[in-house]
Amino acid sequence: MNRLKDFIEWQAYGVCTFIGNALGVATSRIRLWFIYISFLTLGSPVIIYMVMAFWLNLKKYILSARRNPLKYL
């Protein structure tokens, strides 16, 4: 079960993990804050979360394209 959770966290979005690593805060605390703030503000942080997930995935694809120069030949 932990392998599945780790895979989903790493592959799916990783926003909370990225923020936790950047700030040095536990990922579980960041997830709890997202949940609390989402309930208090009627879901607006979910939109912010999705935008951040888009940018993180975009960054991952750009970096992987730079590492493989023969990809587009």
- Render pLDDT for 14-24 as a digit per residue (tens, 0 to 9): 788 888 888 89
Check if the beta carbon of residue 15 is closer than 8 Å to that of residue 49. yes
pLDDT at position 10 is 63
Q: What is the pLDDT of residues 42-68, one digit of tens each?
A: 878 888 888 888 888 777 777 776 665
- For residue 70, the 8-state DSSP code is T
Q: Which residues contact 21 (CB under 8 A, 6 or more apart)?
A: none
Which of the four pLDDT bands, split at 50, 70 and 90, describes residue 72?
low
pLDDT at position 50 is 81
Q: From CA 11, how far away is CA 23, in angstroms rounded?
A: 20
